[in-house]
Structure 1
Amino acid sequence: MGDDMLRIHFSDTDLARTRIAAAPDPLWEVASSLHRLQSRRGRWAYAGWYRMARQQTRERGLGRVLRSVFLPLYPRAAYFPDFLTPADAVGDLDAGLESILATPPRRVLKEVTILDRTVGAPAWAGQLARLEARKEFVGMLRAYHDAVIAPYEEQAQSRIEAERASRARGLLDGGVEGMLSGLGPMLRWRPPVLEVVYPKQVEDRNLYLNGRGLTLVPSYFNWGEPVAFADPEMPPVLWYSLLHEPSPPDAPHGVDAPEKSLITLLGRARAVALRAASTGATTGEIARAAGVSASSASRHATVLRDAGLITTIRNGPTVLHTLTPAGASLLRAASPME
């Protein structure tokens, strides 16, 4: 691991209060997507998204906003303002935008000053301390999100459901420490400290949770760059990267290469359901991943079960769907790169 490290210190209470977010953080995905536009790292994994983003920003007249507003405020650097990614935005764009509007002017000015001192802030950035300026900015954020993030929300949700199922298996096998031990190559659990490689950081940093616990937020557009709030007094949140497969040149928006043959064979909703079951999924999780109602998800699961592709285990009021050997073989055949 590299020399620049964020060390997150846990107590027993912190371990008990650690959780993994159930949905993407839309404002963090906005920030990460802007970082993707500033780097060629991992571009192969987002090829379809890059094409869509260029087209959408051009068609919706967002090019100037992207260049003169967003990229200067969200530099792919050691710092960008914490208030742009509020902790309560996980799974709720409206709540996140309201938090930006509610940010105290003094805090806005403080964080803009840090940005200016760190990498340079645009001359107009201090105007965001004014509520009217933040309202205009929030409108721009919503337009950008709707144009280039929303088309990938379903895909991001599906990947997060799979990640949560994988972490749940770690939890069952080894408790919270087992869950923390498999978070990817940039994070290493050395009890009682989670060591996080921090590529953008200029020196080592320690974060003491002090009984607050930690919220882990898997991010679709983050590429190998775990990030926590710069301010240690903020709610402890760590955004970390999901792994990706490349998408082919003709892939439709929001669809990875491995999904295409499954969609042709099974239909989109059942293909999503089958892939969700690869790491274990409840009917509700399948419904969210596929963007259908719970009753529709149940019907799709029944069809897959009757076809011998999944099996279902009931645990009280919930059921868990997992792959049968036939279902696993079908996924492997449809995903030769995996």
Structure 2
Amino acid sequence: MLRIHFTPEDLARTRISAAPQPMWEVLLSMYRLRGREGGIFFEEWRRSVAKAANLTTRPLADLASQSGYAVDFLTPTLRNLSLAEGLEALRRTPRKRLRADLAVLAGTRRLPSWTTGLAEGRPETLTRLADSVERYFTACLAPYWVRVCGRVEQVRARQVKTMTEEGCESLLAQVHPSARWTYPVLELDYPVEHELRLDGRGLCLAPSFFCWGLPTTFLDGELEPTLVYPIEHKVGWSANEAAHRPLTSLLGRTRARVLEVIGERPGTTTEVASRTKTSLPTASQQAATLRAAGLITSRQIGQSVLHSITPLGLALLAEG
């Protein structure tokens, strides 16, 4: 049982993460790779990334047993929500945090020899670990990240609406099928007995694409209070060709591709033209149409225009 203790200040400071947390999705997707939970929802994705995953997951797997504790420092919760920020936070993990988390992990199983350098905070070992995370994300998550973000955004928009119209307490009562809310305590099913006292810090609610079954949080209650919980899924979400055929029919091949590359990461008109292999006037025209439809936003930066996808655009990509 997980019990989260609120004060009135905590209710006022509770927020919903603005997007998926890349470091959490890395960790939780590894569990989906190594287990059979999620069945048909993740099977196609497992098959598509299995070979690449075998080459990139070893250091990560050493720090996250197939069930049970995974070191807290692997999943820094950040407001900027970018992989680059997460990797930088991992490289800068204080030695005290490394030693404390590895000591807990060592109490559950024998650790490989390379973790000695990690416990000592050696920069080269931390860099090796961060590089492994980046390779794994690039190979196994990046090809699907637009759809991951879009699906999480759909859930987030619904939950923001609940919080706005019905209040934070109503959302807490619905955040997971096992949730039981009786002020001032939120109870959720959990593998072990765990108490989390917010003490005025508020709670970051983080809907997660690769979380499955029970919610999860940090072992250390001193870290930023975060509740990561699963969202609903659709069969076939990872099927590339099938997912984008309706979108192409709706928008046209070029415009759909422009929306997709902007969804992958923001870019200037020149960058969008390069990534879509179109001319600069074509990229500009397609971006203008997408902006008029509310699917992207554009802002002037010096002599360039930077295009970013909107929540509506992400939701459209996620649905295909």
TM-score for the superposition, normalised by structure 1: 0.73
Gapped runs of 5+ residues in structure 1?
58-62, 273-285, 303-318, 322-333
Name the CA distance, whole Å, in 1 between partners of 2:128 and 2:7. 42
Displacement, 1:162?
0.9
**Count of aligned pairs between the two proteins:** 278
Asked if the contact 1:26/1:89 (under 8 Å) is kept, the reply is: no
Asked if the contact 2:60/2:132 (under 8 Å) is kept, the reply is: no
Displacement, 1:99?
1.2
Q: 1:140 to 1:295 in 2, by over 3 A?
A: same
Q: Which residue of 2 aligns with 1:266?
A: 250
1:15 aligns with 2:11: yes
Asked if the contact 1:13/1:213 (under 8 Å) is kept, the reply is: yes
Q: 1:101 to 1:296 in 2, by over 3 A?
A: farther
Aligned runs of 1:115-194 on 2, under 5 Å?
115-128=105-118, 129-194=121-186
Name the CA distance, whole Å, in 2 between partners of 1:72 and 1:64. 14
Displacement, 1:24?
1.1
1:208 aligns with 2:197: yes
Asked if the contact 1:225/1:241 (under 8 Å) is kept, the reply is: yes
Asked if the contact 2:60/2:129 (under 8 Å) is kept, the reply is: no
Q: 1:104 to 1:247 in 2, by over 3 A?
A: same
1:103 aligns with 2:103: no
Q: Aligned letter for 1:243?
A: E
Q: Which residue of 2 aligns with 1:72?
A: 62
Asked if the contact 1:157/1:288 (under 8 Å) is kept, the reply is: no
Q: Which of 188, 192, 198 lines up with 2:190 in the alignment?
A: 198
Q: 1:64 to 1:153 in 2, by over 3 A?
A: closer
Q: Which residue of 1 aligns with 2:290?
A: 297
Asked if the contact 2:208/2:230 (under 8 Å) is kept, the reply is: yes
C-alpha deviations, 1:62-88, integer Å up to 9, x for none?
x3442x422221223221110111122
Name the CA distance, whole Å, in 2 between partners of 1:8 and 1:270. 48
Aligned Cα RMSD in Å? Answer: 3.3
Q: Aligned letter for 1:207?
A: L
Q: 1:183 to 1:288 in 2, by over 3 A?
A: farther
Displacement, 1:260?
5.3
Displacement, 1:26?
0.8
Displacement, 1:261?
6.0
TM-score for the superposition, normalised by structure 2: 0.76
Q: Aligned letter for 1:298?
A: R
Displacement, 1:218?
1.1
Q: Which residue of 1 aligns with 2:315?
A: none
Q: Which residue of 2 aligns with 1:225?
A: 214
Name the CA distance, whole Å, in 2 between partners of 1:149 and 1:99. 19
Gapped runs of 5+ residues in structure 2?
268-286, 296-309, 313-318
Asked if the contact 1:269/1:290 (under 8 Å) is kept, the reply is: no
C-alpha deviations, 1:120-166, integer Å up to 9, x for none?
43232121121111111111111111111111211111112111211
